[in-house]
Amino acid sequence: MLQLENVVKTFGALRAVDGVSLHVRSGTMTGLIGPNGAGKTTLFNTIAGSHAPDAGTITLGGHPIGGLPAHQVFHRGLGRTFQIPRPLGSLTVIENMLLVPPGQAGERFWNTWLQRGKVRAQDAANLAQAREVIDFVGLSHLADQPARVLSGGQQKLLELARILMANPSMILLDEPAAGVNPVLLESLIERILLLNRRGITFLLIEHNMDMVMRLCNPVIVMAQGKVVMEGPPDAVRSDPRVLDAYLGDQP
């Protein structure tokens, strides 16, 4: 599904992503772990189009996406969440959802004049989908509240919900468990598992090792911009290279 060959992303002299090659197989829930500063988020940003790679190739479903702007990558079926969610706080939950759908007929000026019926039908369909997705992530009771009243965990659910509006084939999750209370975390994990069973491929950055060991196979380990190893969770847990990668990070 997603293939990277020798991807490099530098910030001045720092090689934050330093020649990463990896494959994420279709239908998997692949984990990406590594110590702070390993380059995991930078790798996500480079895949999802927030940064252009300095070198290397990135393909999604066989099509090159390296260097495409974020909205184009998104419309090719790759959604991503941010380490710190950023909904528009003054808009309601449902309004945040309605900002997303791609190819809305109403966006085109002439359509609004020439095809008013079509626009109305599209808006109604979007609203119905938004309500369905909000229900799926368990936020329907907050649908008409401004997004700023949501807790950190609820904001993560809203982010996931927004991505789902675009019917993605693959989702990159950056630390979905961070700052989420245990009850909400269970519900988030359940939703992720359900979506994975429905065929969505996941690549998931997480420091919560219980969650990684429970959900992910394979697990890819990064340190200092490079892939250290990849394997099933049990093999990763007991590999000395992984311990080294984490201990090497200690002052």
Ligand X SMILES: Nc1ncnc2c1ncn2[C@@H]1O[C@H](COP(=O)(O)OP(=O)(O)OP(=O)(O)O)[C@@H](O)[C@H]1O
Handedness of CA 7, 10, 16, 67 (dihedral sign): negative
Q: Which is nearer to ligand X, 16 or 93 (CB)?
A: 16
Radius of gyration of the chain from its Cα atoms, rounded to whole angstroms: 19
Is 37 an interacting residue with respect to ligand X (CB under 6 A)?
yes
What's the one-letter identity of residue 251? Answer: P
Residues that bind Mg ion (CB under 5 A): 41
C-alpha neighbours within 13 Å on the C-beta side of residue 42: 24
Q: Which is nearer to ligand X, 37 or 67 (CB)?
A: 37
Which one, of 50, 10, 12, lies nearest residue 172 by Cα?
A: 50
Is 39 an interacting residue with respect to ligand X (CB under 6 A)?
yes
Please select the residue that binds ligand X; options are 40, 156, 162, 191, rule is CB under 6 A.
40
68-79 burial code (b ≥16 CB/10 A, e <16): beeeebbebbbb
Are 2 and 201 contacting, i.e. CB atoms less than 8 angstroms apart? yes
Which one, of 53, 70, 78, 71, lies nearest residue 1 by Cα?
A: 78
Please list every residue from 201 through 230 that binds ligand X, using CB under 6 A.
none
Q: Which is nearer to Mg ion, 38 or 160 (CB)?
A: 38
Output the smallest distance, CB 41 to ligand X, in A. Answer: 3
Output the smallest distance, CB 97 to ligand X, in A. Answer: 27
Q: Which is nearer to Mg ion, 41 or 46 (CB)?
A: 41
Are 225 and 16 contacting, i.e. CB atoms less than 8 angstroms apart? yes
Residue range at the interface with ligand X (CB under 6 A); choices 31-39, 126-134, 137-145, 149-157:
31-39
Q: Which is nearer to ligand X, 40 or 162 (CB)?
A: 40
Handedness of CA 85, 33, 60, 192 (dihedral sign): negative
| Site pattern 76..105 for ligand X (x: CB under 6 A) | -------x----------------------
Output the smallest distance, CB 135 to Mg ion, in A. Answer: 30
Q: Which is nearer to ligand X, 14 or 121 (CB)?
A: 14
Q: Cis bond leading into 101, ω under 30°?
A: no
Is 38 an interacting residue with respect to ligand X (CB under 6 A)?
yes
42 binds, among Mg ion, ligand X, none (CB under 5 to 8 A by kind): ligand X
Output the smallest distance, CB 142 to ligand X, in A. Answer: 28
- The DSSP code sequence of 136-203 is HTT-GGGTTSBGGGS-HHHHHHHHHHHHHTT--SEEEEESTTTT--HHHHHHHHHHHHHHHHTT-EEE
Q: Which is nearer to ligand X, 34 or 218 (CB)?
A: 34
Query: Rule CB under 6 A: which residues touch ligand X?
Result: 11, 14, 16, 34, 36-42, 83
